[in-house]
Structure 1
Amino acid sequence: MNLSKVDTQKMSSTSLSRVGEHWLARWKSEPLLFWSIVILLSLGIIMVFSASMTTSIYAYHDALFFLKRHLFGVLLSLPFFLLGSLFPLQKLRQLSSRILLLNLLLLLMVFVPVIGREGGGSARWLSFGSLNFQPSEFAKFSVLLYLASALSTHQERIKDFWWGVLPSFLMIGTICLLILLEPDLGTASFIIAITLITLFIGGSRLLHLFVCAGALLPSGIFLILFSGKDYWMRRIEAFFNPWNDPQGKGFQIIQSLIALGSGGIFGKGLGESRQKFFFLPDRHTDFIFAIIGEELGFVGAVLVLVLFLIILWKGWKIATSSRDNFQAVLGMGITASIALQAFINIGGVTGTIPVTGITLPLVSYGNSSLIITMFQMGMLFNIAYENKLRNDRL
């Protein structure tokens, strides 16, 4: 009986060791990508603490309130990173339609009392005790997975508008409609943008994509002007002329620009931000890049940009090296999604584009976004490892 227990323990230890070695072999093949992720995660932990400290003390009487929650999110994201690295890609492809339908169900549950939780005037979260989850973040991945599977399974249809492009848009349009009802125009617009990009990557005709974009544009304008959600219109007005209402519509972007401009070349120093003292709203979420620019200066801001460019470069290289069409499209879609989120967030913070509410991947506070992003990063290593295995067999 004792020998049996010892043997079982040894087998378990050996299995865990093999899993560990199997995973290490995956990230060792792309060390530059791995360390870029590690640096962004580490920077995010430091900057979330610095940016959120004032709010934590004022609202919760605990300077570490948001830091502890963010650290929990980082730790929770690590198993998802591991899962993304190890999960069989072919199995994931087979589950793509079911995962999209699950996401559709989760988005519907947001509107169910008790389970759905409202915050900031939007019903975007599912609440399970002390844990909250944002299904719209999950949608960013489930849509990519569905498109990659559909495009690789029905390659002969992708050039056809009625049988290739339109069905995908109708399915994803349903997802976006539910997200708009929350309401969350920024995420819905992002999903439409990444859908167009992925369809183009998969081989759709540009003319067909322009037709879809052209058909959606009037709907977007109508929603902004007549939906009754004034903050959408305020963001557009603030983008064109924030100084027209510096204490109202333009307050957030002006404070963001002050933070970036006051940082200079090397910044005021870690923890020395002035804008975090209740001048700049959403400083540890949507506008964390402004605090990075203020405390770490131009050098810190450029470092963040370089790290995202490395992710874009390495992710694209991994995807284009794949001989499997599904993995190639999925890898390109994931890479484009992360890069586009970073561009949209930084663009909003710098006043280059209107503010959308899209967070900075791997850096901003927000556990749902972090978990999904880390799972997607794990999948890039998974694809890279599959590429290596194929090349070794040749």
Structure 2
Amino acid sequence: MANWFGPSQAVRKLGPEGRFDPWLLLAITGLVAFGIVMVASSSIAVADGQHIGEFHYLKRHLVFLAAGGIVAVWVALKLELDTLERWSGPLMLITFLLLLLVFIPHIGMRINGARRWINLGISGFQPVELAKLTVVLYVASYLVRHRDAVETRFLGAVKPVGVAGFTALLLLVQPDFGSAALIGVVTIGMLWLGGARMRNLVIMGLPLVPLGAWLALSTDYRVKRLTSFLDPWKDPFDNGFQLTQALIAVGRGKWFGVGLGGSVQKLFYLPEAHTDFILAVIAEELGFFGVLFVLALFALLVGRGLQLGLRGVEVGQQRAGYVAFGISLMIGLQALVSVGVNLGVLPTKGLTLPLISSGGSSILMTCVMLGVLVRAGYEIHLAEDARRMATRRGTPDAPAATIGDSGRPAPSSPLPKTRELPLAARVRIEPVIGQVGP
């Protein structure tokens, strides 16, 4: 029998087979299940008050979760990463087009003073959620093809920095400062892991700093929003209202919380209780240990993703390794920012808590990203299995693989150079579910 987590003996006789990483699946399943429970708890009062049915937001969450899950399963089972690499450029162009469409009247939607949505009739779509994935795929593809230039030349990383910078610029104009900063930091992190010198990356990113500062300080509303978190109690009924209500919720929860469903702050006191500030409701209902449980699940997901990324680079699967790095950084940093906003240590950014906050395009694209991450883990395990089989058979490794001309690791690179895998590791073998053989 072959299963989701390991190969069968029948397949082992024929060649290497990958497996889906059980730790990734455990973390994802835990976050999805926990998110369903908390969306139900935090949204009932809001939906009932809007007279749209008390389970409206839960049903909507489940619909987008199911759609994203179907796509994620298809990606994990059928879509090879080299196919995504070939499409990374066109996908990036499509992302730019969608980010520009939000500024066209009757196509783009203005909500809460920001143009971030495309009107699809039955729902809205945020192109930034697609951008988070396409930027990761593009940077990973660039590193696979040009790692030597990234390591050894000052301008070697200028193209991915430019692509990420243009994406951030379009987001700043919407405005969406949180997502712009998130994409910028993830791009820098991926390039640094790919061997680029941090000094060079900082120098290339400096031109965006004055532009971002000007956009952030151009209106009194934005200035107050960026600074109100420093002392929300100074203006608790206006600029500091949302944060003070979140802090009250966190304080009421103490160690063990007031009990699931027992939150008072979600009863029209705390705005966006089921989306941006769902962690405050978790803290109120489940207490410190409930928040700690959520953080542990994210730590497992992100830590395992980063570990798989490192192992991927070590066994010659640079493409899968860099994709794992990028998606893990994107999910982890977004979760970190969301937690910081809910606890009052960061200004309000409008970023959801991945897999837990209620959402449409955010939950859909998060599922797709995680499907790509699971596929990357599968291909990394496939390469590791091929290496183990080659070792048992006494097959020597091929000469060291180099991406570029020199093949010398740059002093700034935190990742080692790798060896090329045996031919068996490059044979396409799809994941198998169920019976194999008679």
CA RMSD, Structure 1 to Structure 2 (Å): 2.1
Distance 2:287 2:135 in 1: 36
Distance 1:23-1:392 versus aligned 2 partners, 3 A rule: closer
Distance 2:282 2:142 in 1: 40
Distance 2:181 2:143 in 1: 21
1:237·1:249 contact (CA, 8 Å) conserved in 2?
Answer: no
1:145 aligns with 2:134: no
2:365 to 372, 381, 384: 372
Give the match for residue 76 of structure 1: 67
SS in structure 1 of the partner of residue 50 of structure 2: helix
1:275 to 248, 256, 265: 265
Q: Deviations over 1:243-275 (max 9, x none)?
A: 211111111111111101101111111111000
Q: What pairs up with 1:244-393 in 2 under 5 angstroms? A: 244-322=234-312, 323-393=316-386
Give the match for residue 411 of structure 2: none
Q: What pairs up with 1:98-109 in 2 under 5 angstroms? A: 98-109=90-101
Q: What pairs up with 1:86-101 in 2 under 5 angstroms? A: 86=77, 87-101=79-93
Cα deviation, residue 336, structure 1:
0.9
SS in structure 2 of the partner of residue 365 of structure 1: coil
Cα deviation, residue 241, structure 1:
1.4
1:170 aligns with 2:152: no
Give the match for residue 237 of structure 1: 227
Distance 1:56 1:281 in 2: 13
Give the match for residue 179 of structure 2: 187
Give the match for residue 40 of structure 2: 49
SS in structure 1 of the partner of residue 217 of structure 2: helix
Q: Deviations over 1:30-65 (max 9, x none)?
A: 222212211211111111121111211112341111
2:165·2:205 contact (CA, 8 Å) conserved in 1?
Answer: no
2:165·2:208 contact (CA, 8 Å) conserved in 1?
Answer: no
Distance 1:29-1:174 versus aligned 2 partners, 3 A rule: closer
Give the match for residue 10 of structure 1: none
Counterpart residue type for residue 41 of structure 1: V
> Normalised by the size of structure 2, how large is the TM-score?
0.81
1:83·1:375 contact (CA, 8 Å) conserved in 2?
Answer: no
Distance 1:24 1:249 in 2: 53
User: After alignment, is 284-293 or 77-86 more displaced?
Assistant: 77-86
Cα deviation, residue 28, structure 1:
6.1
Distance 1:24 1:132 in 2: 40
Distance 2:252 2:288 in 1: 10
Cα deviation, residue 162, structure 1:
5.3
Q: Which runs of 5+ in 2 are unaligned?
A: 8-16, 391-438
Q: What pairs up with 1:9-24 in 2 under 5 angstroms? A: none
Cα deviation, residue 22, structure 1:
6.8
Q: What pairs up with 1:21-32 in 2 under 5 angstroms? A: 29-32=20-23
Give the match for residue 202 of structure 2: 210
Q: Which runs of 5+ in 1 are unaligned?
A: 1-17
Give the match for residue 120 of structure 1: 112
Distance 1:164-1:59 versus aligned 2 partners, 3 A rule: same
More helix by share: 1
Distance 1:161 1:222 in 2: 31
Give the match for residue 26 of structure 2: 35
1:62 aligns with 2:53: yes
1:23·1:82 contact (CA, 8 Å) conserved in 2?
Answer: no
1:263·1:298 contact (CA, 8 Å) conserved in 2?
Answer: yes
Give the match for residue 136 of structure 1: 128
Distance 1:327 1:280 in 2: 41
1:97·1:146 contact (CA, 8 Å) conserved in 2?
Answer: yes
